Structure 1
Amino acid sequence: MDMTISTCFVLVHDPDVALGFYRDALGLEMRNDVKRDAFRWITVGSAKQPDVSIVLTNYLNGSPADHDALAALAAKGALNGVYFHTDDLDAAFKQVNAAGAEIVQEPADQPWGTRDFAVRDPAGNLVRVDQPPAAQ
């Protein structure tokens, strides 16, 4: 059996603000926008990976206490988001920084052999971008 990733979900508090970050700061394309009452599911992804999607959503099947707990975890930086690869880390960092993203870590060589940086999306999710050693 062979499995591949197709979709991952990232919880956000404001879908419009999240779309601005993932589309404008990270350069992903918007693929779909589904609205139902106060909830949205916005699908974005890389043009180079048409079969892999990220769904930005403000939908959480739970109580108001669950929403509060999630917000508290995001505020502590406990929520990991998505990890991306790029072939030009410096250009990616310049673009994300110019968009006003909250920088967690500037580009740095890591002991596990990659060079990366980290930012937070507007909902507090950690987003890391690395440049694999083969692309350096």
Structure 2
Amino acid sequence: MVVRRLPRGAEPAGTLTAMRVTPVTANLRTADIESAKGFYTDYLGLRDEEFNMGWVARYSTPRHEASVQLVTRDASAREDPVISVHTDDVEGAYAEARERGYEIMHPLTTEPWGVRRFFVRAPGGHVINVVGHQD
């Protein structure tokens, strides 16, 4: 599902807009990525290993229509997110989360591996990783 965001300033006064979401990826907690990998690659067919940094690895279908991330523990934040929501406007999403009063769990940060992200707590308690990829 893709949610289209109006350009900043195009929405009616006083209206907050939804961010433009590109993929959403489930973050599945596992104690050992290598021992879990076969289930997702061989059985579920998520054969394309997009990356593996030891603490997080993403496996996708060949055309990248679906993917999961296996996570042992987030390397730079105090809480693990349950999903990663990718957006092309992470700066705007961060500003809007703050404007709406949502609890920021990890500040907007450019990580050493090249993504810009923040974590926000959703109503109900889930921690969401909102991420933009640097070009």
The answer, yes or no, to whether TM exceeds 0.5 is no
Q: How high is the TM-score relative to the length of structure 1?
A: 0.41
